[in-house]
Amino acid sequence: MSGGETEQQQRCELKKKLEEDDQEAEADPEQQQQQCRSTAASLVVDQREEERSLINR
């Protein structure tokens, strides 16, 4: 499970970098961090739902 978290963090960092490039870092860093957290949280939810569907087969 820890491997998945690392992957999510990497995705999140990459997404943040892309957003910073797009906006030239105009957005408040704290806001970006919160967006990052919510993105990671939604990824976790997706992952759990995926696991459930695999178990239910």
CA distance 15 to 20: 9
Question: For residue range 7-38, what is the model confidence (pLDDT) as tens digits?
Answer: 888 888 888 887 777 665 565 777 777 777 77
Contact assessment for residue 54 and residue 46, using Cβ atoms and an 8 Å cutoff = no
Within 8 A by CB and 6+ apart from 54, the residues are none
pLDDT of residue 26: 60
What's the pLDDT band for 57 if we cut at 50, 70, 90? confident
Q: Report the amino acid identity of residue 27.
A: A
pLDDT of residue 40: 77
**Which has more confidence, 46 or 27?**
46
Q: Provide the 3-class DSSP secondary structure of residue 20.
A: helix
pLDDT of residue 24: 58
Domain boundaries, the chain: 2-56
pTM score over 0.85: no
Running DSSP on this structure, what letter comes out for residue 57? -
